[in-house]
Structures are given as C-alpha cells and as structure tokens.
Amino acid sequence: MNKVLFLDLKSPYQELQTELDAAYRRVMESGWYILGEEVDSFEKDFSAFCQTKHCMGVANGLDALHLILRAYGIGEGDEVIVPSNTYIATWLAVSYVGARPIPIEPDPATFNIDSARIESAITPRTRAILVVHLYGQTVDMDAVLAIARRHNLKVIEDSAQAHGAAYKQKQAGALGDAAGWSFYPGKNLGAFGDAGAVTTNDDELAERIRTLRNYGSKVKYFNEVKGYNSRLDPLQAAFLRVKLKHLNGWNSRRKEIALQYLSSLSDLPELTLPHVPEWADPAWHVFVIRHAQRDALQKYLGENGIGTLIHYPIPPHLSEAYQDAGYGRGDFPLAENIAQTVLSIPIGPHLASHQTAQVISAIRAFHGK
C-alpha cells in the first residue's frame, strides 16, 4: 500500500537543498547569530511580499499576537473579540496580556468569524477585534473594518495560516492594523523550527514591537520598558528568505490540488466541501471537509494509507485551559459542531498527482462510488 502523508516536511528541503545549505553556511560563517543582517533582509522581503511598510521578526506566532496586543496597550480589564472556532493560540495571546477573549461564532459556510455577530458583542471594554484567516482563507475584512471604525477598535489579523492569501486582491497581513504570523514548519511558508513575525503599516506600533521583542531595549543595556526575549533567529530568517522565493509557486500547486478535490468530490452529498467567496483567494493551508461520520471516514482513510488531521478537535471554550472562563458544552454550538465534523485531507506543493488521485479514490470508495 502506498502511503500518503498528511504533511511532507522533507520534500521542501530536498527540492531546495542547494539554496538552503548555502544559506546555512552564510549564517554560520558570518559569526552573527542574533538579529542582524539576515533578519533585516527577511523583514524587508516579507514586508514587500505582504505589501506593508514594516515587518518585525519574532520567535513564534503566539509571540507575534501577544506583542501586538501588548504594544497597543491592551491589558487587564479589556476585552478582545475572537473567533470561537480557532486554534487556542489566538485566545492565549489575549490571555497573556490579561485581557478577556470574547468568542464569536463562525459563518458556517467559511468557518471564519461571522461579522454579522460581532457588533452585538462589543462593550465599553472592547479594545480590538482579533480575526483569524482560518485554513488559509481570509475573513470578510470590509465588514469587520466597518464595525471597527464605528467603535474605534483595532483590527488584528491572525495570519498564521494565510501566507499568500488575498482579500479583494490585497494581501493578508496588510488588511487590518497589524498582523501576526507563524512560520511553524508545517505552514505554507515554514521555517525549520519555531519562528514568527508581525506586519503593519503603523510606524509607532512597529517601533514599540522592535523594542518589546528585544528586552525592551533599542540600545544594548538601555532598557526603556519591561520587554521580552522574542527574536527571529538569523538561521531561520535565512531559510525563510530562500523559501519565500518559492511561495507563490507552491501556493499555485496547492490551488491546483484544491480545485481537483472540489471538482472530483462535489457529487458526494454526505460531504461538505470548502466554500470560497468570490472575494477570497485562499492560500489553501489545509483542505478541510465536513462529514457527519467524520471518525469513521478518518479511520477508513487511515486504513488505506492516507494521513489526515482534525483542525481542531476541541474548541478553545471547552479546553481545560479555559475552564475558569465558565463556558460549557452548548455555549458555542457552531464551533462545537465544526469540531465534531471537520477533517483535513492531504494538500501541499509536493503532493504528487497520483497521490491526490489516491485520496479522491479512497473518499469515493468510502461512499460506495
């Protein structure tokens, strides 16, 4: 039986081995291993890619969101609108600064935050709307920004899954006031370890984050604020510079696979396929289907050599980490139903055509087709 990995992390290195090895040698021979020229160069490259004025490399995606909130002065007693359907890191960033996450249910078609539900949740304590471009598809940002302008709120993008995604031909990461990025190895633009960044057009915010990420210091040993140690590693920056050159091509391959899935599985009524609004150009970080018999389908695919994952099996409000928030089962039924029915099937730039066909055949066979 030929196995289809859910996530293939070896192939990107094998494809780019010569370039990546050269980047490694360049950093090791430089004698400079904290911030410096490699990080500066990646920040310039990635800000140009995102069409923003600034990019600040940080240690990981959670730090990116945390530092944005901290730099905006959001803290104890404040509230931040978040999706009920997201990875827990989105909520954790809010909790880190002492603020309270206020969950909003998703649009059941896109799984992203439902903008029509946001305004009713705003209170005098609300400081920001933290949206997530879940699975690599952008939120309806015009609707969110209109609400934010009416209430004088910041709009922060969790772009951890949206490398190269666009909204009305504008890049994710340049749609709100600031965006947090993760370059975790499995992302469309992934490092070879943890890494992250912030993008923004806000000059003051950019300066504050550059200070906060480096112990609260602009000049060594002169600490202006109580900062953090959250700096993008130069070695990871060098690797990301190499991979960034290939991101558009890799995303195009993801799109080809997504279109193949959409066309080949559309006649299965038991299966709910991703919905793409006309204004969205997804990065297809993951390809997520829904099925009432999700666990049985996942087991069948596994038995036939096809790797799958669930993004995500437990909504944040039902996690042990947020027991103190007082939420219970049934409080956010849409997020709970999504968690019980979603399944991510293989997609990636190195997934071969015969492997895509194998996934399709197995799903169809499960349905007797």
pLDDT tens, 270-286? Answer: 999 999 999 999 999 99
pLDDT tens profile 91-122 = 999 999 999 999 999 999 999 999 999 999 99
Spatial separation of the C-alpha atoms in residues 185 and 183, rounded to whole Å: 6
Spatial separation of the C-alpha atoms in residues 367 and 1, rounded to whole Å: 20
Q: Which of 302, 271, 300, 303 is nearest to 288 (CA)?
A: 271
| pLDDT band of 34, cuts 50, 70, 90 | very high
Spatial separation of the C-alpha atoms in residues 172 and 256, rounded to whole Å: 20
Q: Is the pLDDT of residue 306 over 80?
A: yes
Q: Is the pLDDT of residue 1 over 80?
A: no
Q: How many residues in total does the chain contain?
A: 369
pTM: 0.97
pLDDT at 61: 98
Q: Is the pLDDT of residue 175 over 90?
A: yes
pLDDT tens profile 226-251 = 999 999 999 999 999 999 999 999 99
pLDDT at 338: 98
Question: Residue 211 in contact with residue 218, Cβ under 8 Å?
Answer: yes
Look over the chain and give the mean of its residue pLDDT values, rounded to a whole number: 97
Helix (H, G, I), strand (E, B) or coil at 369: coil
Spatial separation of the C-alpha atoms in residues 188 and 51, rounded to whole Å: 18
CA angle 182, 311, 148 (to 5 degrees): 60
H/E stretch holding 238: helix 234-244
| pLDDT band of 369, cuts 50, 70, 90 | confident
**Which residues, 6 or more positions from 297, have their beta carbon under 8 angstroms from its beta carbon?**
291, 343, 363, 366
- Describe the crossing of helices 37-50 and 234-244 by its angle, rounded to 10 degrees: 40
